[in-house]
Amino acid sequence: MVDNVEEIRKNNVLHLPQRPAVDIEFLDLTFTVPQGRKGSKLILRSISGKFRSGQLTAILGPSGSGKSTLLNILAGYKSTEATGTILINGEHRNLKEFRNISRYIMQEDVIQPLLSIDEAMMIAANLKLGKNVTVCDKLEIISDTLDLLRLTPARNTLTNKLSGGEKKRLSIALELLNNPPVIFLDEPTTGLDDLSCSQCVSLLKQLAKGGRTVICSVHTPSAKLFSLFDAVYVISSGQCTYQGYGPDIVPYLSNMDITCPTHYNPADFVMEVCAGEYGDCQDKMVSAIDNGRNIYRNNQLTSLFESNSPTGNDQNVIHVMECISNKEHKNTSWDQFKILLIRMWVQMWRNKSYLLLKVVLHIALGLLIGNMYIGIGEDGSKTIFNFGFYFNCIIYFMYIPMMPVLLSFPLEIQYLKREHFNKWYNLNSYFCALTVSTLPVQIVLGSLYITMVYIFSYQPLEFGRIAAFFGICILTSIISESFGLLISSTLNLINGMFVGPVMMVPFIIFCAYGFGEGYASIPILIKILMRCSYLRYSFEALVLVMLRGRKLECPETEEFCMFTNLDEFIEIMAMNNGILWVDIVALVLFLIVVRSASYYLLRQRLMPNKTFMALQYIGRFIKTQMSEGR
Ligand SMILES: Nc1ncnc2c1ncn2[C@@H]1O[C@H](COP(=O)(O)OP(=O)(O)OP(=O)(O)O)[C@@H](O)[C@H]1O
């Protein structure tokens, strides 16, 4: 095992050029979360510290001590409610700039499914490395990274079939591709065996040696692993209890009369001390290290933040950014769009069982509904049924496209959050690719259903009417899908699955309300609400397109047919004032507004502006006030 680690150490990460130095300091960082009627919970308590470039720093602490919270705040992933100061190379952190130079590998392995490791790496390389790097170089970088993380044997395995450890290593590999100057990793060794842990930490150390700032949280590392870290930051109940070189923790504690037993793993020992197994030492340790303002070095405590102390390097973030952008060429939005679109289509195609299910569902419903309305389209005695058939079509194209989005998009947002936060692509490219990616399946399956029910129900075989019928149904389908996106951009799976169908109820009610006599007596407010239902425009458009200017025969078996003149029928239904082009324009406007709103909400979910943050805060406040204090 040792040989292996040494081999990796020697096996330098050649493709990764040196990075300019970035030091991270934080002072009096406090983080609180609201806790129902009990008030709030203090998670980080005015902690301070400094993480240097060129060093691999481990954040250590018992479960629930605040390691992930500290990482989230430093990485800028969740920083809105934190107070305190964060300095980057001695200057106040500009989050936007900082995010361009840092990458965050989160605890959960959220990896795009239905791609092989090779494909996932190539897509990431195409998105992150840009066009300046040739395909050959990209392949070499990918091979090096996969070798380093021992993923080569599994390179053709689909990501959803990988073991937990392989997923973890892949999520590290994906972020290493473009060699960021600052890397945060939340528990990168969890789920890895001893060898993989050592290899992973050795790799991180190598990256740090190249001038990067590598910070990771770890759970009780082995003694060997513990000694690999250049610096250790111990956190307990939201306070810093130690900062310095890992093995130095033993003399540090013995100075406080807490003696580590011989042959004992210092990492295990400090965890036990923090957990109170050696008496209540926390306050003593916190005050010795001044809650992170001091560092234990050369057997003595030194202050990190003396007023005139040098910050370690004088490069500001803009300088670092310039150094990086001189070497790298970013992809254009169009390039990102193409890569993402292909990825979405590949994943869609590989999800064969779901695709097949959709096809079967459309055919089955087409057969069922087509048979229910068989022959009604040219039967003068069935005009009312025909009218119901159009309504049926509208309801079909409301629910069928919306439900899959409500189910799948909340999970998709997790991938989006990780990739977007780590600057793989911009939201515009993603959103455009998402919009385009679903169109072919939607159009093909929608057309399959329409063709079946259209033929079964004997609708007029006139090109204009056929084209308009298809167009209106598909437009309705895309608007409904956009509503699904709008809801799931904001709500989680459970809430979205409830709100989606419920939200459609008023649209259905106002679509079907007020036909026939008495339309004129409907109050103006209700009429306005009726005009707010996109389904009404779809329905009206379908009726006008399919019935206007037609007369039907009354079958010989019937003595009397009330609605053979369909223009009269339209008048009786009070739809004679409807204008087809107005309905179509209204539908297009609905589509634009709903799509734009879902884009806006998605953007706010990823990067909330001040108004949105205030709204979120008010929402949370109301929720906590209403919830039972536990
Ligand atoms: N939004 C929140 N609401 C309520 N409590 C929270 C919230 N976020 C974090 N906490 C609490 O803050 C504490 C610290 O959480 P954090 O995830 O940072 O711990 P950790 O040290 O990373 O734990 P682990 O090692 O188990 O992952 C935990 O007790 C957790 O329950």
- pLDDT tens per residue across span 62-113: 888 999 999 999 998 876 778 999 999 888 998 888 888 899 998 888 899 9
What's the chain's Rg over C-alpha atoms? 31
Q: Are 178 and 328 in contact (CB under 8 A)?
A: yes
- How do residues 528-563 score in pLDDT, each as one tens digit? 999 999 999 999 999 999 999 999 989 888 888 888
* φ and ψ at residue 299, rounded to 5 degrees: 60, 20
* Average pLDDT of span 305-320: 56
Buried/exposed 571-598: b ≥16 CB within 10 Å, e otherwise:
ebbbbeebebeebbebbeebbeebbebb
53 CB less than 6 Å from ligand 1?
no
376 CB less than 6 Å from ligand 1?
no
**What percentage of the chain's residues is helix, strand, coil (to nearest 5)?**
60, 15, 30
pLDDT for residue 18:
60
| Dist. CA 173–CA 100, nearest whole Å | 18
Residue nearest to atom 20 of ligand 1 (CA): 64
pLDDT for residue 612:
74
The region of weakest confidence among 114-123, 144-153, 368-377, 528-537 is 144-153
Please tell me whether residues 233 and 100 are part of one structural domain. Answer: yes
Residue 371 banded pLDDT, cuts 50, 70, 90: very high
Task: Provide CB contacts within 8 A for 89, sequence distance 6+.
Answer: 21, 22, 23, 311, 312, 313, 314, 315, 316, 317, 320
| Dist. CA 30–CA 44, nearest whole Å | 5
Residue 1 has pLDDT above 70, yes or no: no
| Dist. CA 120–CA 537, nearest whole Å | 43
By DSSP bridging, strand 102-105 and strand 82-88 are unpaired
| Dist. CA 263–CA 245, nearest whole Å | 18
pLDDT for residue 55:
92
Bridge partners, residue 33, by sequence: 41
401 CB less than 6 Å from ligand 1?
no
* Domain end among 281, 303, 327: 327
- How do residues 234-265 score in pLDDT, each as one tens digit? 999 999 999 999 888 889 988 888 888 887 88
Helix or strand holding residue 105 (H, E): strand 102-105
Percent of the chain exceeding pLDDT 70 equals 91
Task: Provide CB contacts within 8 A for 364, sequence distance 6+.
Answer: none
Please tell me whether residues 61 and 149 are part of one structural domain. Answer: yes
Residue 275: both structure tokens together? 């957990």
For residue 548, CA distances in Å to 384, 438, 460, 571, 584 come to: 14, 33, 12, 10, 16
Please tell me whether residues 146 and 228 are part of one structural domain. Answer: yes
Helix or strand holding residue 213 (H, E): strand 213-218
Domain count across the chain: 2
**HSE (side-chain half, CA atoms, 13 Å) at 46:** 5
* Domain end among 295, 327, 359: 327
pLDDT for residue 307:
52
Please tell me whether residues 284 and 363 are part of one structural domain. Answer: no
Residue 193: both structure tokens together? 């065996």
Residue nearest to atom 30 of ligand 1 (CA): 64
CA of residue 486 to ligand 1 center, whole Å: 30
Average pLDDT along the chain: 87
- How do residues 134-148 score in pLDDT, each as one tens digit? 899 899 989 988 887
63 CB less than 6 Å from ligand 1?
yes
630 CB less than 6 Å from ligand 1?
no
CA of residue 253 to ligand 1 center, whole Å: 26
Of the two residues 555 and 624, the one the predictor is more confident about is 555
Residue 476 banded pLDDT, cuts 50, 70, 90: very high
Percent of the chain exceeding pLDDT 90 equals 54
| Dist. CA 55–CA 207, nearest whole Å | 9
Residue 2 has pLDDT above 50, yes or no: no
pLDDT for residue 190:
79
* Average pLDDT of span 566-589: 93
Residue 484 banded pLDDT, cuts 50, 70, 90: very high
Q: Are 241 and 258 in contact (CB under 8 A)?
A: no
pLDDT for residue 110:
85
Of the two residues 385 and 607, the one the predictor is more confident about is 385
What string of H, E and C letters represents the secondary structure of 527-540?
HHHHHCCHHHHHHH
Q: Are 215 and 183 in contact (CB under 8 A)?
A: yes
pLDDT for residue 625:
66
CA 464 to chain centre: 42
- What are the helix and strand counts (H, E) for the chain? 23, 12
Q: Are 379 and 465 in contact (CB under 8 A)?
A: no
CA of residue 68 to ligand 1 center, whole Å: 7
Q: Which atom of ligand 1 is nearest to the CA of 217?
A: 22
**HSE (side-chain half, CA atoms, 13 Å) at 392:** 18
Q: Are 94 and 207 in contact (CB under 8 A)?
A: no
Please tell me whether residues 344 and 311 are part of one structural domain. Answer: no
DSSP three-state, residue 295: strand
Residue nearest to atom 7 of ligand 1 (CA): 33
Residue 519 banded pLDDT, cuts 50, 70, 90: confident
- How do residues 90-104 score in pLDDT, each as one tens digit? 889 988 888 888 999
Residue nearest to atom 17 of ligand 1 (CA): 68
pLDDT for residue 224:
85
Pocket probe for ligand 1: among 29, 30, 68, the residue whose CB has the most ligand atoms within 8 Å is 68
Exposure of 502 by Cβ count < 10 A (0-12 exposed, 13-18 middle, 19+ buried)? exposed
Q: Are 380 and 561 in contact (CB under 8 A)?
A: yes
| Dist. CA 601–CA 612, nearest whole Å | 9
Angle at 420 between CA 416 and CA 421, to 5 degrees: 115
Looking at residue 184, the DSSP 8-state letter turns out to be E
CA 361 to chain centre: 29
Nearest to 583 by CA among 549, 544, 614, 617: 544
CA of residue 62 to ligand 1 center, whole Å: 11
Please tell me whether residues 309 and 339 are part of one structural domain. Answer: no
Residue 615 has pLDDT above 80, yes or no: no
Please tell me whether residues 224 and 157 are part of one structural domain. Answer: yes
Could you tell me the pTM of the whole model?
A: 0.86
> Of the segments 272-286, 309-323, 426-440, which one has the largest average pLDDT value?
426-440
Residue 183 has pLDDT above 70, yes or no: yes
383 CB less than 6 Å from ligand 1?
no
Please tell me whether residues 565 and 477 are part of one structural domain. Answer: yes
Residue nearest to atom 2 of ligand 1 (CA): 33
Residue nearest to atom 25 of ligand 1 (CA): 63
Of the two residues 505 and 38, the one the predictor is more confident about is 505
For residue 16, CA distances in Å to 138, 142, 552 come to: 12, 12, 76
Residue nearest to atom 24 of ligand 1 (CA): 63
Q: Which atom of ligand 1 is nearest to the CA of 71?
A: 18
* Domain end among 298, 327, 356: 327
Angle at 365 between CA 364 and CA 371, to 5 degrees: 95
| Dist. CA 321–CA 101, nearest whole Å | 7
Residue 191 has pLDDT above 80, yes or no: no
Residue 36 banded pLDDT, cuts 50, 70, 90: low
Q: Are 109 and 167 in contact (CB under 8 A)?
A: yes
Nearest to 185 by CA among 199, 196, 173: 173
33 CB less than 6 Å from ligand 1?
yes
For residue 170, CA distances in Å to 117, 155, 192, 194, 210 come to: 7, 10, 12, 17, 21
CA of residue 70 to ligand 1 center, whole Å: 10
Of the two residues 199 and 303, the one the predictor is more confident about is 303
The DSSP annotation for 6-74 comes to: HHHHHS--TTS-------EEEEEEEEEEE-GGG-EEEEEEEEEEEE-TT-EEEEE-STTSSHHHHHHHH
Residue 305 has pLDDT above 70, yes or no: yes
Query: Where in the sequence is the domain holding 499, given as residue range(s)?
Result: 333-626
Residue 21: both structure tokens together? 């130095």
Bridge partners, residue 44, by sequence: 31
64 CB less than 6 Å from ligand 1?
yes
Please tell me whether residues 320 and 341 are part of one structural domain. Answer: no
Please tell me whether residues 621 and 576 are part of one structural domain. Answer: yes
Residue 7 has pLDDT above 60, yes or no: no
Q: Are 225 and 268 in contact (CB under 8 A)?
A: no
Of the two residues 8 and 272, the one the predictor is more confident about is 272
Amino acid at site 284: K
Residue 295 has pLDDT above 70, yes or no: yes
Pocket probe for ligand 1: among 30, 33, 69, the residue whose CB has the most ligand atoms within 8 Å is 69
Q: Is the four-CA dihedral 404, 407, 413, 419 of positive or negative sign?
A: negative
Please tell me whether residues 362 and 323 are part of one structural domain. Answer: no
Q: Are 78 and 72 in contact (CB under 8 A)?
A: yes
* Average pLDDT of span 346-352: 95
Q: In this structure, what CATH number is given to the domain that contains residue 283?
A: 3.40.50.300
- How many other β-carbons are positioned within 10 Å of the β-carbon of residue 622? 10
Q: Tell me what ipTM this predicted complex has.
A: 0.96
Nearest to 386 by CA among 449, 446, 453: 453
Please tell me whether residues 505 and 530 are part of one structural domain. Answer: yes
